Amino acid sequence: MVDKQFVTPWADKSDSDPFHSLCSYLGAFPPSLANYFIKYFTDENDLVFDPFSGRGTTILESRLLNRKSFGSDLNPIALALSKAKSYNLKPKDILNRIDELQEDYDYALFLPEAQAQADEIHLIFHPRTLAELCYLRVMLLESENKIDQFLIGAVLGIMHGGERKDGSSGYLSISMPNTFSMAPDYVRRFVQTKELNRVYRNVFDNLRDKVRRVFKKHISPKKASFILECDAKEISKSKELKKYHGKVDLLLTSPPYLGIVNYAKQNWIRSWFLESDPIEISERLDDDLNINEWVKFSKTTVTEFKKMLKPNGTAVFVIGDVAKSTNNVIPLAREFAMMIKENKLFKNIWIFSDYIQGVDKTTRIWGETKGKATATDRIVILSDVNPFEKNDRLNGQFILNYEQIKESTQDFLG
């Protein structure tokens, strides 16, 4: 098999909207990739769907490009982040709400709640910071107010991360990674080894700073999005999504890989704020499957997704290779494509490779699974029509000409 490499137009990620940085998220694809395919395969006011919405990259880019959009997920953290990026809000109103929350806060009332938290949480946060977080859990989690739902996403984004050289921090925790939660036992050793002290971080001040940063160059889109909790294997059974059956112009998503990211367990600190049990959530998610289970899962979900697409709609999947060992790399996209072909789910399949430079992939930065997530993503495009024909949205330019696309696909599939 010859695997051709091409320079992709979304390699430059410098122009992404600051709203994407609301909160880090494991395994997210770059906003520039979503931006490109939304521009290429849809027009303004077309409908875009992401059934594994994650941190809301597809949703936000759709809104920025004046497309209608909706997303779904099963992970409470993903739902919170996608919702935070789905509303039309003004920073002034958000800052006013933070002021209101701070004015009503009483440390003495929430100190007992903070003291009652698990030991592993006490390792991470100063008692006063923890009391403020306990207060915000009470005030925000049951609220249906859009500003409060945005603030949940903002809190998740500042829960934990590193200190600056001067000891200050935009995060609330001891100095630690911001992308994933270190295991509790590892945190204990980490605190002892690094001799870390818990420093009081004012949650309200850090929230204000976060809001100002993400809104600094953000141009609020006109369109809002719809986000709901839904199992990707049962999309067509959702009463709330029934109105979208056969209406989607573009489905753009990245499905879970083979045991690379346990989104619940590796986000247990953020799960604590959401009052979610990481073990219970992990059992609901399909992020720890073997290859046979994954292919079966893919068949079920793609069958469901196709019911959402227009007859001339397009589906774009970002699927990474998985390294089981140094000499054993599983190109999941090939298994995925062969499953599509054998079951005749779509008439046309195109595949090409996106080689990620350096350590862009979040899933390559921690030791526990180092090496399992490779530096290669495969872009799989599915449609019952040829979406490349008569397409002048980008002046007729795609990353490859059509003959190259076909050649790349043939080479990859052997």
Asked whether residue 125 is domain-assigned, the answer is: yes
Whether 13 maps to a domain, the answer reads: no
**Judgement on whether residues 136 and 184 belong to the same structural domain of the protein:** yes
Q: Can you list the alpha helix ranges (DSSP code H) found in 159-238?
A: 184-194, 203-215
Domain finish residue from 148, 181, 215 = 215
What tens digit of pLDDT does each residue of 141-199 get?
A: 999 999 999 999 999 999 998 888 888 999 999 888 777 666 666 666 766 666 567 89
Length of the chain: 414
pLDDT at 361: 43
Does a structural domain hold residue 105?
Answer: yes
- Here the tokens at position 353 are 């490779």
Domain stops at, among 189, 215, 241: 215
Please check whether residues 254 and 373 belong to one and the same domain.
Answer: yes
The answer to whether residue 9 is domain-embedded is: no
Task: Flag residues of the chain having pLDDT under 70.
Answer: 1-9, 11-14, 27, 180-188, 190-196, 258-265, 323-327, 355-375, 390-402, 404, 414
Select from 120, 99, 102 the least CA-distant residue to 110. 102
Residue 373 bridge partners (DSSP) = 322
Q: Are residues 70 and 121 both part of a single domain?
A: no
pLDDT at res. 107: 97
- Structure pTM? 0.89
SS3 (DSSP) at 200? coil
Continuous segment of H or E residues that includes residue 59: helix 57-64
Do 103 and 40 reside in the same domain of the chain? no
Point out the domain boundary residue: 190, 215, 240: 215
Amino acid at 372: K
pLDDT for 43: 93
Domain ranges, residue 294 = 18-86+223-413
Q: Are residues 378 and 259 in the same domain?
A: yes
Number of domains in the chain: 2
- Tell me, what CATH number does 37's domain have? 3.40.50.150
Q: What is the mean pLDDT of the chain?
A: 85
Residues 383 and 235 grouped into a single domain: yes
CB 69 within 8 A of CB 42: no
